[in-house]
Amino acid sequence: MKVTIEYNSRTIQVNISNPIDISIPIDPSKENVNAWYINDPEIKPEIIDGHEVSVAKGAVVNFNGIKFNPHSHITHTECVGHITEDVHSINKNLKYFIFLAEVVTIAPLFHNGDFIIGVKQLRRALRNKKRDAIVIRTLPNLEEKKSMRYSNTNPTYLSEKAAIYLKEKGIKHLLIDLPSVDKEKDDGKLLSHNAFWNTEGELRMDATITEFIYVPNEVEDGEYLLNLMIAPFENDATPSKPVLYEIIK
């Protein structure tokens, strides 16, 4: 199904019959993605008056409680409140949900013992394109990303210069298939988070970072319409479900 929309004075045709979900869910029946040194998430029936509230155990409804951390267990979207003393809410600061996005595939560079996404790579990928969002797929792009145990693995991260470039380029929404845009252990500097949200100047309250995405290999690099759906948590971060739609040329 084709839909025509007006976006920033531009008429765009979108194929909405083929949504591309790039989120990773919580699924306790499988090995779940995990980072930041905490236990796995739990989804299990509540116990009330000593009885398990599930249809399988004789209840009339299933009534599960969920224990998780959005930063550790699921695709999540965060705002500047993630790193500020004032815990700003993603639910209050993300007010629009449809954006033009560029999907780019990056082979990380080996630099000073780490794998990084560098500024030159992003410049080559974006060139003079004007986008609200960037979706970064790193190589190798294996299915194991959906169940990776990232703690103490020093995964790939975004260089500070790359984060500054994205901010200056006007990218408001950064989506990446890694647990963080920063190095796992960096003595609390969080250089790329701080650079992207401009914490040394006027805070970019409406800018977001989405981590733990997974972009399937069959999705080509290029321009897409992004629907950045979030759960309404008054918190610095919330589970999210980013969905891409093909733009019909």
**Rounded alpha-carbon distances, angstroms, from residue 226 to 56, 168, 187:** 39, 21, 34
Residue 10 burial (10 A CB sphere; 0-12, 13-18, 19+): exposed
Element (H, E) at 168: helix 160-169
Compute how many other C-beta atoms are within 10 angstroms of the C-beta atom of residue 104: 21
Q: Looking at the predicted structure, is the pLDDT value of residue 249 above 90?
A: no
Residues 195-214, mean pLDDT to the nearest whole number: 98
| Domain 2-26+71-247 top-level CATH class | alpha beta
What angle, 0 to 180 degrees and rounded to 10, lies between the N-to-C axes of helices 160-169 and 119-126? 30
Q: Looking at the predicted structure, is the pLDDT value of residue 8 above 90?
A: no
At residue 231, the pLDDT reads 98
Residues 184-190, mean pLDDT to the nearest whole number: 97
Looking at residue 60, what DSSP letter applies?
A: S
Residues 81-90, mean pLDDT to the nearest whole number: 96
Strands (E), the chain: 2-7, 10-21, 42-45, 47-48, 51-52, 64-67, 76-78, 98-106, 109-111, 114-117, 133-138, 157-158, 173-176, 208-211, 222-230, 237-247
pLDDT digits (tens, 9 = 90+) for 9-54: 889 999 999 999 999 999 988 899 999 999 999 999 999 999 999 9
Give the residue among 137, 68, 149 at the shortest CA–CA distance from 108. 137
Spell 186-209 as b/e; 16+ CB within 10 A means b.
Answer: eeeebbbbbbbbbeeeebbbebbb
- Cβ pair 39, 72 in contact under 8 A: no
At residue 205, the pLDDT reads 98
Residues 115-139, mean pLDDT to the nearest whole number: 97
pLDDT digits (tens, 9 = 90+) for 160-183: 999 999 999 999 999 999 999 999
At residue 9, the pLDDT reads 84
At residue 59, the pLDDT reads 96
pLDDT digits (tens, 9 = 90+) for 44-69: 999 999 999 999 999 999 999 999 99
pLDDT bracket for residue 7 (50, 70, 90): confident
